[in-house]
Structure 1
């Protein structure tokens, strides 16, 4: 199991990025979460088997059809054994 945190920049708000990410995670059995950040980026956490997590990281470089992704930063983290995938709201005070 691996865990990756990604931050996606570009036109990624208002284009169904989070919902599509949730559906993709379900299809690939990847746990974690996704949320919009106030600075216009999207942050996501993917945890699961290496091939499935990599599919989500690769997808984040393109996003849904209406998105325009300009950059993606990827950070490795230690897995925590998450289950399920959630769409989070923007954190208060962020």
Structure 2
């Protein structure tokens, strides 16, 4: 993470992966499970340029929090990713549990 408050695309997907892995672990041995056919992720990506023309944040920062910049321009882009989850070494569908 480059700046405090910034979340890179890699970090966002890593967090999503960890949560899905935990849901798969919790589903093992349960009588009722859910098949995860796809995962849709919608993110807002912010690119900020300062008055000097330098890029303040990386292109793939999901959240940008910054202070002290008097003149800046921020462009917000939405990206949508559709992911098909797959367990390494398995062709079986991914089964998850929805408990927190």
Q: Which has the higher contact order (CA 8 A, sep 6+)?
A: 1
What TM-score do you get using the length of structure 2 for normalisation?
0.29
Higher helix share: 1
Higher strand share: 1
